[in-house]
Copies of this chain bind each other. A is one copy, B any other.
Amino acid sequence: MMEKQQRRTAILDATITQLARAGLDGVTHRAVDLAAGLPQGSTSYYFAKKAALLTAAAEHLGDLLGKDCDALQLGFAEHVARDGMEAGIAFVGEEVVSYAETAQDLYLARIELTLASARREELAGVGDMLTRAARRPIEFFLELVAKQSSPEKIDTCAGLVDGIMLMYVTGQGPKPTQDQLRAVFQALG
């Protein structure tokens, strides 16, 4: 039964990478089977309907993003406890930009799912959930860096990060830099 969870997770991981690498229309039951290295039929067995697969993948993606954010906040707290506030903020700044490189697939999958959610009502809610998950680290970093904030400023900063990331992961723009984010968040927050 632990086995079962592992298999399910393997399928959802494969779904996310498939979403990132081949887009929504690259996600077929068979393609996910293949990407996960599981026998044909496995994905269909766990998720008979495609909408169920995508919904579960979105939830899994939300979990991943949430866990990464938890880890970030934990790391921040540790650095603050050990070396003070400045060190904590520096740590977060470094993590945030290095995460941009690490998490390209997660980001692409989020876009695909958000777009899909806006169009197919079987996926309603998925977009909101992913948006919330993706915003958490932004808000956290903003609080650290900005003098004072507001809902409008948060919208702006979240939009900024999404746009930069979108251009970056599609090869249309440079990787976000810590200077860039810090400057903007300070100017706006």
Q: Which residues of A contact B (CB under 8 A)?
A: 21-25, 108, 111-112, 114-119, 127-128, 131, 152, 155-156, 158-167, 169-174, 180, 183-184, 187-188
Contact = CB atoms under 8 A, between A and B. Distances in A.
A23 B155 contact: no
Classify the secondary structure of A's interface with B: helix
A167 B118 CA distance: 10
B170 A166 contact: no
A164 B156 contact: yes
A136 to B, nearest CB: 14
B163 A159 contact: yes
A180 B163 contact: no
A117 B162 CA distance: 19
25 contacts: A24-B25, A25-B25, A111-B115, A112-B115, A115-B170, A117-B170, A128-B172, A131-B172, A131-B173, A155-B167, A155-B173, A155-B174, A155-B180, A158-B163, A158-B167, A158-B173, A159-B160, A159-B163, A159-B164, A159-B167, A159-B173, A162-B162, A162-B163, A163-B164, A184-B184
